[in-house]
Structure 1
Amino acid sequence: MVSTAVRALVDLVLPRVCAGCGQPGHVLCPRCAALLSRPRPATPRRHPAGFPPTVAAGAYAGPVRPAVNAFKEHARTELAGPLGAALALAVGAVRAGAGGAGPVLLVPVPSSRAALRQRGRDHVAELAAAAGRELRRAGVPAGCAPLLGRRGRVRDSAGLGAAQRRANLAGTFVGRGAPRAGAGLVVLVDDVVSSGATLAEAATALGAVAAPVVAAVVAATPRGRPDPVDPGPGTFTVRAG
């Protein structure tokens, strides 16, 4: 009763609006949340060498784009719940493709030091933690581990082609030890995949300490209309907030 009253008061002072479409009353409205419940293979136009098998919960287009950017760049941290649930859905689908049983270990792609300073937080680690909670709620043993580090500085990738992006990222990631025994399937996680250069470089570094490596992301830049992927056993629901 008290929590309901407090929530109503907060909504009155700071009205919630959907980060995708701006509809009042929701952090992410049901219509926008539904766009992140359609897992599909991530298919960069040119698969860079080392690009791991990857599933995205939805397309990085339409209302999904501002929703992801609101969480990433504008500190809408309340979106960790629905976006983490979307990531869990993608993890469930890639797990099903890899055999569909056993625990999973989520490894977030680390951000650059400059990005961490600018945002004041590690948004991918937040997504991984939220996805882990969602997976465990669905009965899937899941953990998170920072098995990747980042070194060196890279220039802004805006305007770079796929090959240039990969060259720009070469040697950026380094393994930070091996997964513990029984950790299960190692799933590299990120918010968005576009050219695939970042995931390919991160998977190459992670593959030196853990194999095989698959990946899951919240959204992928659309390339045609790939077939949907079965999320496998368990129930993963991208709830409106």
Structure 2
Amino acid sequence: MRPAGTTQDGAPPWAGVLQAGGRALADLVLPRVCAGCALPGSVLCAPCGSRLARPRLAEPRRHPPGFPPTVAAGAYAGPVRPAVVAFKEHGRAELAAPLGTALALAVATVLTGLPPSSGSSDGGSSDAGSSDAGPVVLVPMPSDPAAVRRRGRDHVQELADRAVAELAAAGLTATTVPLLGRAGRTRDSAGLDAAARRANLTGRFRRLPVLLPPGCRLVLVDDVATSGATLTEAARALTAGAPVGGEPVLAAVVAATPRRVRRPDPPRSAAVLTLRR
């Protein structure tokens, strides 16, 4: 039996708040260093930040059926990897600014810069950036509740919120809608191969009964794409719960495991998205 006043993982409900407060205090006391290369002076230095301004189509090595057209702002390698991990696992919440801007770049690119082979219905670049296109809805990947309690924050929602602000500054209106929920528990996917990841995630997401504006464009957003299993299952849940002829699903991530990648043409709106340091 769980002791009274504790969460499911045994921690008091205010533990996450105290952890977040401690991290904020550390940010004030400790000198700021680049999360990518550890050089002092900035949250993410210019050379490391430039690696998140290289939008590319993410194509997993074993392309899972149903994997949505996905753009990553950069490769999940080199200094990008420790920067993402620092934001996600080590309390570097100030990285929401540069990583959220990178996510906004990926969103803008997947909407306006897909090459012909990416799945666009007209065989060419999407018209998603035109004035008569439908509203943009970012759908954050739902985080595991236990992980949210442990971290004291929902890091994917933070990235999505920052991306919406950056897109607005670039002249592209978007909103975030929690359209996905978790339908069950999953084990940690670390160390699993692609097939095991897919099996682990099958049926784990469900579309929530949220009313969307007509003609909207859904963009799944997450921090990292590796095997593509999570995005594939999330896209399946979105389309399975949608009405006939429902919204097409795209995806955008901060970074993707570098395997087979093709860089799409820069979108018209991406030119004003600059990484904040």
- TM-score between both structures, scaled by the size of structure 1: 0.91
Query: Is 1:70–2:86 an aligned residue pair?
Result: yes
Query: Structure 1 CA distance, aligned partners of 2:105 and 2:265?
Result: 9
State the partner residue of 1:196. Answer: 228
Q: Which moved more, 1:96-105 or 1:62-71?
A: 96-105
Contact 2:100 2:160 in 1 (8 A): yes
Is the alpha carbon distance of 1:17 and 1:212 closer, same or farther for their aligned partners in structure 2, counting shifts above 3 Å? Answer: same
Alignment root-mean-square deviation, CA: 1.7
Provide the C-alpha distance between the structure 2 equivalents of 1:82 and 1:201, rounded to a whole number of angstroms: 28
Q: 1:240 to 1:136 in 2, by over 3 A?
A: closer
Matches within 5 A, 1:79-158: 79-96=95-112, 97=114, 98-99=126-127, 100-101=129-130, 102=133, 103-158=135-190
**Unaligned regions of 5+ residues in structure 1, if any?**
1-9
Match of 1:27 in 2: 43
1:185 aligns with 2:217: yes
> 1:81-122: per-residue Cα shift (whole Å, max 9, x none)?
100000000001100133233331100000112211211111
Flag the 1:53–1:126 CA change in 2: closer, same or farther, 3 A: same
Deviation, 1:159, is: 1.9
Residue in 1 aligned with 2:73? 57
Q: CA deviation at 1:190?
A: 0.3
Q: Is the 8 A contact 2:55 2:71 kept in 1?
A: yes
Matched, 1:239 2:275: yes
The corresponding residue for 1:14 is: 30
Q: What's the offset of the Cα at 1:136?
A: 0.5
Say which SS state the counterpart of residue 64 (structure 2) adopts.
coil
Q: Distance in 2 between matches of 1:231 and 1:95?
A: 11
Which one of 258, 261, 265 corresponds to residue 230 of structure 1? 265
C-alpha separation between the residues in 1 aligned to 2:176 and 2:205? 18
Give how far 1:211 is off. Answer: 2.3
Given that 2:101 and 2:276 are in contact with CA atoms closer than 8 Å, whether structure 1 keeps it comes out as: no
Query: In the alignment, residue 232 of structure 1 is paired with which amino acid?
Result: P
Paired amino acid for 2:267: G
Deviation at 1:237, TM superposition (A): 2.7
**Structure 1 14/39 Cα, relative in aligned 2: closer, same or farther at 3 Å?**
same
Q: Counterpart of 2:252?
A: 216
Are the structure 2 counterparts of residues 57 and 236 from structure 1 closer, same or farther at C-alpha, using a change threshold of 3 Å? farther
Contact 2:215 2:247 in 1 (8 A): no
State the identity %: 61
Alpha-carbon contact 1:30-1:240 (below 8 Å) kept: no
- 1:30-72 per-residue CA deviation (whole Å, 9 max, x = no partner) reads 1011000000000100111211000000000000000000000
* Paired residues of 2:136 and 2:174 also in contact (CA < 8 A): yes
**Structure 2: segments with no counterpart, 5+ residues:** 1-25, 115-125
Is the 2:170–2:273 Cα contact (8 Å) retained in structure 1?
Answer: no
Deviation at 1:163, TM superposition (A): 1.1
Letter in 2 for 1:42: A
Q: Residues 231, 185 of structure 1: CA spacing in aligned structure 2 closer, same or farther, 3 A cutoff? A: farther
